[in-house]
Amino acid sequence: MAAFFIPALHSAPPRPGWTTAGNLRIGSGLGSRHRRNAIELSRFAEWVGLALVGVLVAVLVAVAAGRADEDAAVGLTRALAAEETRTGKLSPALLPVIDELAQARLGSGDLTEAAALRRRALDIAVAAFGCDSAKAAEAMAALARVHIDRRRYLDAEPLLIVAERVMRDRGAADHPALAAILAGLARVALARGETDPAIAWAGRSVDIARADPQGRSAEPLRTLGAALAAARRFDDAKPVLSDALAQDRRQHGAEHPETARSLSQLGNLHLRQGRAGEGLPLFAEAAAIDQARLGPTHPFIADDLHDLGLAYEALKRDDQALLAYLAALAVLERGAGRDTPRVAYVELELSRLYRRKGDAAAAEAAFRNARRILNKAEAEERRRERRV
């Protein structure tokens, strides 16, 4: 299990622009509203167990500290430029470097740049191998996966539909890449609340993945488990998600972000079952892994903290829930998640908690911001639907 970050009692002097409250370093460079949230974090820290404080404080400190992984991305960017100069902008020789750089950007949390890189890889695959090639279908699936991580399902769906058709027309019904395509279609169906199609897509994905001797990803199992849980088929979902977690630990190790995704999915199953106490340590472990392995403003870290908040709220531990939601908001506001529906969902939870605590003004402010973001997202979805 990944170790939690525990701040020292006598740590180094705070960075410029940061104030220290006990062991918590709170960013004073935030706007007034979020500076208030930071103060709330320090006020509520005394209510929280040391392990959770370690997770949340590490996130806030890492926001300012940054990550050494950026050096690797800079090196890959230079390598890409050099290879492009040598072989040309549409050379398939660029694809391995683009893939590495996209993975680095995904890990850092720069999902927008990762999507741009995946789009470039798709353009190269189409130019080099044809739009009806397996390489093009794989590139479509990779781009769609980034869109799903960004929760831009309308962008992902047409890519997945075309990719699935390409593979079917090629008679590649058992191609390993098809497992990722079908799992993506299942995720899109789940986002719409369509559990039966999601279970069907995910079930086919699992069948293909199980026939792959390399066992590339547990995402088909995770998706099937999520779909079964959404359909309230809990007894069916649990062994599937347990298998996904076992596969990730075996294939990637106990402290890999893929393992964190399976931990989180299993935790959400327990949450749906009304067993928040069983889900809580799974969410905490996922948060510890992600804070150690991903960029400090990665949306997945915010998702982990949101899940922790939901679990604490279900356990009637509102102070801890509030701290988790505020930390999730801090991560999102500093990175790619800013002003996205992820922020809105956290704000809605905060609004409910503030109202229970009798802070009507804070509750109304959080609710208004959530409504503004969701209205904006709905209008954008309508525009994109018309384009699709």
pLDDT digits (tens, 9 = 90+) for 223-273: 999 999 999 999 999 999 999 999 999 999 999 999 999 999 999 999 999
pLDDT bin (cut points 50, 70, 90) of residue 84 is confident
pLDDT bin (cut points 50, 70, 90) of residue 72 is confident
Pairwise CA distance, residues 308 & 51, whole Å: 12
pLDDT the model gives residue 5: 31
Instruction: Please give the model's pTM, rounded to 2 decimal places.
Output: 0.81
Q: Is the pLDDT of residue 20 over 70?
A: no
Taking the CA atoms of 27, 30, 35 and 40 in sequence, report the sign of the dihedral they define: negative
pLDDT bin (cut points 50, 70, 90) of residue 12 is very low
Contact 59, 10 (CB under 8 A): no
Contact 34, 329 (CB under 8 A): yes
Which of 242, 249, 174, 266 is CA-nearest to residue 213? Answer: 174
Output 16 or 131, whichever has higher pLDDT.
Answer: 131
Strands (E) located in the chain: 18-21, 24-27
Render pLDDT for 101-114 as a digit per residue (tens, 0 to 9): 999 999 999 999 99
When computed from its CA atoms, the radius of gyration of the chain, rounded to whole angstroms, is: 21
Judged by average pLDDT, the poorest of 61-65, 193-197, 355-359 is 61-65
For the record, the structure tokens of 272 come out as 């749906």
Which of 342, 354, 21 is CA-nearest to residue 152? Answer: 342
Q: Which one-letter DSSP state was computed for residue 294?
A: S
Q: Is the pLDDT of residue 15 over 50?
A: no
Q: Is the pLDDT of residue 166 over 60?
A: yes
Which amino acid makes up residue 342?
Answer: R
Which amino acid makes up residue 139?
Answer: A
Which of 354, 323, 281 is CA-nearest to residue 47? Answer: 323
Pairwise CA distance, residues 41 & 137, whole Å: 46
Kindly report the backbone phi and psi dihedral angles of residue 351, in degrees, each rounded to the nearest multiple of 5, phi listed first: -60, -45
Pairwise CA distance, residues 18 & 301, whole Å: 21
Q: What share of the chain in percent tops pLDDT 90?
A: 68
* Residue located via tokens 């392990």: 51
- Strands 24-27, 18-21: pairing is antiparallel
Tell me which H or E stretch contains 19.
strand 18-21
For residue 249, count other CB atoms closer than 10 A to its CB: 17
Taking the CA atoms of 243, 249, 254 and 255 in sequence, report the sign of the dihedral they define: negative
Q: Is the pLDDT of residue 53 over 90?
A: no
Alpha carbon separation from 161 to 136, 181, 201 (Å, rounded): 13, 8, 12
The burial of 274, by beta-carbon neighbours within 10 Å (0-12 exposed, 13-18 middle, 19 or more buried), is given as: exposed
Judged by average pLDDT, the poorest of 52-56, 247-251, 257-261, 291-295 is 52-56
Cβ neighbours of residue 352 closer than 8 Å, sequence gap 6 or more: 363
The burial of 105, by beta-carbon neighbours within 10 Å (0-12 exposed, 13-18 middle, 19 or more buried), is given as: buried
Contact 375, 150 (CB under 8 A): no
Kindly report the backbone phi and psi dihedral angles of residue 20, in degrees, each rounded to the nearest multiple of 5, phi listed first: -115, 130
Largest alpha-carbon pair distance within the chain? 65
